[in-house]
Chains A and B, each alone.
Chain A
Amino acid sequence: MILVMARAATTADAFNAVAEPRRRQILDVLAGGERPVNDLVRQLGLAQPQVSKHLRVLREVGAVDVRDEGRQRLYRLNGHALKPIHDWVKAYERSWSERFDLMDDVLEDLKQKERDDGGSD
């Protein structure tokens, strides 16, 4: 239980970082491959300081990595860091999928009952 809570707390920080729409946009662009900051600024249509601020948050939670190449700073997605977040959401999703799969069975019965009732009118 403690293990679960600790994990939730750390992934929650990362999740918060990734939940912001502009930061998700940055991740979407980086999903296409490594990019210099200038590319991100152009694609997002934001001012450089804003983009840098978002990138800093993403770096802090490990969602992106950065490296310098000559005068350019290149950013890339760190899929490994994003996996716990993905898993976290998926676990919750699975619990609801199981409920709704059972609800499908209930609905099949209700549809059958409607068909039967309709037939007897």
Chain B
Amino acid sequence: MAAATSGTATVTLPADDQILITREFDAPRHLVFTAYTTPELVRRWWAGKRGEVTSCEIDLRVGGAWRYVMTANGGYEVAFHGEYREIVPDERIVSTEVFEGAPESEVVNVVTFAETDGRTTLELLTQCPDQETRDAIMGSGMEGGMQEGMDLLEQIAIELHK
């Protein structure tokens, strides 16, 4: 069960080409770091409600590669990969990220883990090459949101037919 005290993710846009996601967790930061960087654990959360993680490779060292693949609920596959540029265990990870559906647009993610009184604030800053990329990434949230809406409608329709 998720802790009732868990926070909600907030998204802000500090600049035209940036996205900042902030979320507090009811756990010390070494555990949040572990959940964020261990393949079998990432598999459990990274797809959210949108599908299943089918592959998760993490070579956690500077210059090491990562690649996540997810099969979305609609049946299509999406994959992301990148390279680690900076790693401070339990504190900070800087990595590149490429959506394989749009390989020309590489973003840089800076994740920081800050602990206060046993709780950890995770900040994920996505630095995009330009505003168009930022907007496309934000738009993908909208698309997914619409997909979920459709899924929900479908479920309700099936329920009504029973």
A4–B146 touching, CB < 8 Å: yes
Partner of A100, one of B9, B16, B47: B9
B27–A92 touching, CB < 8 Å: no
Using Cβ atoms and an 8 Å threshold, which residues of chain A touch B135?
A: 8-9, 12, 15
- Chain A 1-14 interface 0/1 with B at a Cβ cutoff of 8 Å (1 = within): 10011011100100
Partner of A95, one of B34, B35, B41, B141: B141
Q: How many residues belonging to B are interface residues under a CB distance threshold of 8 Å?
A: 44
- Chain B 13-45 interface 0/1 with A at a Cβ cutoff of 8 Å (1 = within): 101100101010111000110111000010011
B10–A8 touching, CB < 8 Å: no
Name A61-115 residues within 8 Å CB distance of B: 87-89, 91-108, 110-111, 114
- For residue B123, give the distance in angstroms from its CB to the closest CB of chain A: 12
Interface residues in chain B, defined as those with a beta carbon under 8 Å from any beta carbon in chain A: 1-3, 6, 8-11, 13, 15-16, 19, 21, 23, 25-27, 31-32, 34-36, 41, 44-50, 122, 131, 135-146
12 CB contacts below 8 A, A to B, read A8-B138, A8-B142, A12-B135, A93-B8, A93-B9, A94-B145, A99-B47, A100-B6, A103-B32, A107-B32, A110-B35, A111-B31
